[in-house]
Amino acid sequence: MTQANVTQANEPASDSRWDGLILGASIATLDADSGYGEIADAALAWRDGAITYVGPRADLPGAPATLAREVVEADGWITPGLVDCHTHLVFAGDRAREFELRLQGASYEEIARAGGGILSTVRATRAADEGELLRQSLPRARALLADGATTLEIKSGYGLDFDNERKMLRVARQIGDALGIRVRTTYLAAHALPPEFSGRADAYIDAVVEWLPRLHGEGLVDAVDAFCEGIGFSRAQTRRVFEAARALGLPVKLHADQLSDLGGAALVAEFGGLSADHVEHSSLDGVQAMAERGAVAVLLPGAFHVLRETKLPPLAAFREHGVAMAVATDCNPGTSPLLSLRQAMQLACTHFRLTPEEALRGATVHAARALGLANRGVLRVAARADFVRWQVGHPAELCYWLGGTLAGDVFAGGRRVAGAA
């Protein structure tokens, strides 16, 4: 570890000893309803991928060398591993030229007529074989991991036919295997209308519903999503997708109320969904429905920033009604080419006025909840040993610095997967 001393204990390994023990850094456990859960001169231990001790060094139940196989002296701060709960990072090609055209005044419709927009990404993704799609997507996942994200959600939705949706989900699984981290896959075939179904949206939803059990049967689907919007799919069409997910016991989430209020937040709450994402136009009724059913509001400040939006999510209402707010990158080629969850946290503070503590919780505790994962996003005994040692003097610096390299070491399941050599 950089700026850390590692010692190997001399005693032979035994089943009762911890795999690793880090001493000396400050820890933000986030294991409370508020505050960082700060522990100074702390100790963090793990065994078999799970945390076995977190607390003051002075309270350890014995001499460090007798407790763990590897003992590390470290500085800085340790937080839970970050959880990016909304990404579209598996795709081929890019849309940098469209970004330039928008800045020159071209409208979305003009770009689409010229062959751009989401369907340009669909064409590129369909044209790439599985190996090429992995080759293009893996560096994006590595960038997120290097900046502290130890759990990723990855959506399909640029295939829009069975074979290519399957290909995207397979690549998402391969990314998790390659990086040694957890990837949660989300089926988002109801993302846009493919050209072969032009003018036949209901028929396309028939196909989306028919593909789902086949893909789920292959172990490729952890959750189901849809784009409920005027330029996407209606509430009735989204409801059909959700009913198909419910029949398979799959949780749902939703691209909800990004451009207008179609009642998406209330709809996902009705189905006991994990999260409503974007939510800039969600109504008070939607907020209250989310609060009643425990749905998480996933804030996506990257898209807000790139699209230069001005309509803020109902942040005061979320706070008033106790709706948990997660923060994610929305990494995608068109509206949020963002490769740092820490930068998303900074944008959430700048644009949405979240506090650094709210942003950190949003990228850990609440993001894990938005994926239905109870064993990460917090540092407590029995939680998965996903954590990051940051080279900072206080957790607020994670939202203060624009860019740069702050992650010293990144651990997933007790294994070091990224960071300084």
- Tell me: is residue 375 an annotated ligand-binding position: no
| Rounded distance between C-alpha atoms, residue 41 and residue 162, angstroms | 53
- Tell me: is residue 335 an annotated ligand-binding position: yes
Residue 58 has a CB neighbour count (10 Å cut-off) of: 8
Q: Are 210 and 203 in contact (CB under 8 A)?
A: no
- Tell me: is residue 174 an annotated ligand-binding position: no
Kindly give the pairing relationship between strand 182-190 and strand 68-73. Answer: unpaired
- Tell me: is residue 346 an annotated ligand-binding position: no
Residue 98 has a CB neighbour count (10 Å cut-off) of: 21
- Tell me: is residue 366 an annotated ligand-binding position: no
- Tell me: is residue 330 an annotated ligand-binding position: yes
289 sits in the region (left: phi over 0; alpha: psi -120 to 50; else beta) called alpha
- Tell me: is residue 84 an annotated ligand-binding position: no
Give the DSSP per-residue string, 185-254.
EEEEEETS--GGGTT-HHHHHHHHHHHHHHHHHTT--SEEEEEESTTSB-HHHHHHHHHHHHHTT--BEE
Dihedral pair phi/psi, residue 50, rounded to 5°: -125, 150
Strand order in the sheet with 18-23: 5-8, 68-73, 18-23, 42-47, 50-56
- Tell me: is residue 232 an annotated ligand-binding position: no
- Tell me: is residue 158 an annotated ligand-binding position: yes
- Tell me: is residue 36 an annotated ligand-binding position: no
Contacts with 288 (C-beta within 8 Å, 6 or more apart), sequence order: 321
| Rounded distance between C-alpha atoms, residue 254 and residue 243, angstroms | 13
CA 156 to chain centroid? 14
- Tell me: is residue 281 an annotated ligand-binding position: no
List the binding residues for 4-imidazolone-5-propanoate.
Answer: 95, 158, 191, 258, 335
List the binding residues for Zn(2+).
Answer: 86, 88, 255, 330
List the binding residues for N-formimidoyl-L-glutamate.
Answer: 158, 332, 334
List the binding residues for Fe(3+).
Answer: 86, 88, 255, 330
List the binding residues.
Answer: 86, 88, 95, 158, 191, 255, 258, 330, 332, 334-335
